[in-house]
Amino acid sequence: MDRKTAVVTGASRGIGRACAIKLAQRGMNVVVNYNKSEKKALEVIDIIREFGVEAIAVKADISINKEVVGLFSQAMKHFGRVDILVNNVGIVEDSFIMMLSEDSLNRSMDINIKSYFYCCKQAALKMFKNKKGCIVNISSVSSRKALAGQSVYSATKGAINSMTAVLAKELSQFGICVNSIAPGFINTDMISSLSEDKKKEYLDMIPLGRFGEAEEVAELVSFLCEGRGSYITGQTFVIDGGLSI
């Protein structure tokens, strides 16, 4: 009954999947949000239950506010509480400014910015009565380092960092900590789909000479959510192998 409950968006794969599993390993119940791949979400559920905690998979397009409300309603119905939110969903649609389409811009704004606001609002509404909670927004090193073709992506992730700092001030009175994590090149589906030449190009940019692992990002998320990071709020943590220095 005393287990914390974490809502992790985009938890069927990549960084979200790693975060959901890591928080389960730390003894938390988990709401696994997904939008398209139910099969992968259920695979995550099976892994999570091996740690003796509970988990549910909830389909929701979090760029739509009504579906976000439904996501958190299901979390409350099943677990009776929401203690942690890991805002992880995002898209990358690289385009030079002269080739940028309105549709691509709108998709990025809806998914990379609006969804974070929608989820933060619902999480805060569920957390403030208990006077405690933790929100971690997954940003990107692109918010700090200029990469050609990523003007929109960088803008959206920079907005997440700024939003994080403001929400940390707003929600501190309710004991809710809000931080963001800005990963660099992480070994997920996006990296595996690149050509070998492109991988080498990116590796040459990273001082540590390797891509990060989703589990390394999840470890930092876990630190912030477990209580060990309870005096940290409003910060953006870069985890990029030195890419941004």
pLDDT tens per residue across span 201-237: 889 999 999 999 999 999 999 999 988 889 999 999 9
State which H helix or E strand residue 87 sits in.
Answer: strand 84-87
Q: What is the pLDDT of residue 243?
A: 93
pLDDT tens per residue across span 157-202: 999 999 999 999 999 999 999 999 999 999 988 788 778 888 898 8
Once rounded to an integer, what is the mean pLDDT over residues 74-82? Answer: 97
pLDDT tens per residue across span 26-73: 999 999 999 998 999 999 999 999 999 999 999 999 999 999 999 999
The radius of gyration of the chain from alpha carbons, rounded to an integer in Å, stands at: 17
Instruction: Judge contact between 158 and 143, C-beta under 8 A.
Output: yes
pLDDT tens per residue across span 96-139: 878 888 888 888 899 999 999 999 999 999 999 899 999 999 99
Q: What is the pLDDT of residue 151?
A: 80
Question: Torsion angle, CA of 119/122/124/130, rounded to 10 degrees?
Answer: -130
What residue segments make up the domains of the chain, in order of their start? 5-239
Residue positions annotated with a catalytic role: 153
Apex CA 165: angle with CA 161 and CA 168, to 5°? 135
| pLDDT higher than 90, residue 82 | yes
Q: What is the pLDDT of residue 159?
A: 95
Three-state secondary-structure class, residue 177:
strand
Does the domain made of 5-239 have the CATH classification 3.40.50.11900?
A: no
Q: What is the pLDDT of residue 152?
A: 86
Q: What is the pLDDT of residue 90?
A: 84
**DSSP class of residue 242?**
T
Question: Confidence class of residue 149 from pLDDT cuts 50, 70 and 90?
Answer: low
| pLDDT higher than 60, residue 1 | no
Residue 201 phi/psi, 5-degree rounding, is: -60, -45
